[in-house]
Amino acid sequence: MAEIKTAKTAGFCFGVDRAVKLVYEELEKYDGRVATLGPIIHNRDVVEDLKKKGVRIIEDVGELDENEKAVIRSHGVGRKIYDELSQKGNDYIDATCPFVARIHKIVREKSEEGYYILIAGDESHPEVQGIDGWCGNEAVIFSDPAEIERPKNLARLNRAEEILAVAQTTLNRNVWDACTEALL
């Protein structure tokens, strides 16, 4: 019989593992009154287990019940959501992956400095939407070089003095390389 080895990198990445652990910890502290803003991760089994233990999945801060603790999922959210949570008054825990949070910080700072922001990734992915939310939802989001070369995008790029390109953390490296090559 052949020997079976498990890869060292099998399982969740650091950010996802951290987010899942935070939700389970909050369930114990908050006696099951926990809601995640969207599914905490892209793993149906984990999400279903959390739901069985009492976690609600909501899509909008307005859906939070009084005294229910909110958890910002591993993909992160835009600045507007933090403002809404403050206004609503519910406690929350930020389970955004630290690598994603770092991209948020960079995008916010550079956007405030006047940089034009490009995001390589899937525009329907919550991580990309969250990143875009840190630059006023003004970024050009693309997943292949042809999207950058659309006339409206080229016109905006040609007017930009400073450009910052970032990527969805799960973006395929070959896609990133092809897109950045097109920019240069």
Active-site residue set: 127
The tokens for 126 are 């919550």
Residue 29 has φ and ψ, to the nearest 5°, of -70, -40
Given a contact cutoff of 8 angstroms between Cβ atoms, the answer to whether 150 and 99 are in contact is no
Q: Summarize the chain as % helix, strand, coil (round to 5).
A: 45, 15, 40
Q: Nearest to residue 100, comparing CAs of 79, 122, 61, 128? A: 128
Q: At what angle do helices 14-29 and 44-52 cross, to 10 degrees?
A: 10
CA distance 26 to 32: 8
Compute the radius of gyration of the chain from its Cα atoms. Answer: 19
Please list, in sequence order, all residues whose beta carbon lies within 8 angstroms of the beta carbon of residue 139, skipping any fewer than 6 positions away.
107, 117, 118, 119, 131, 132
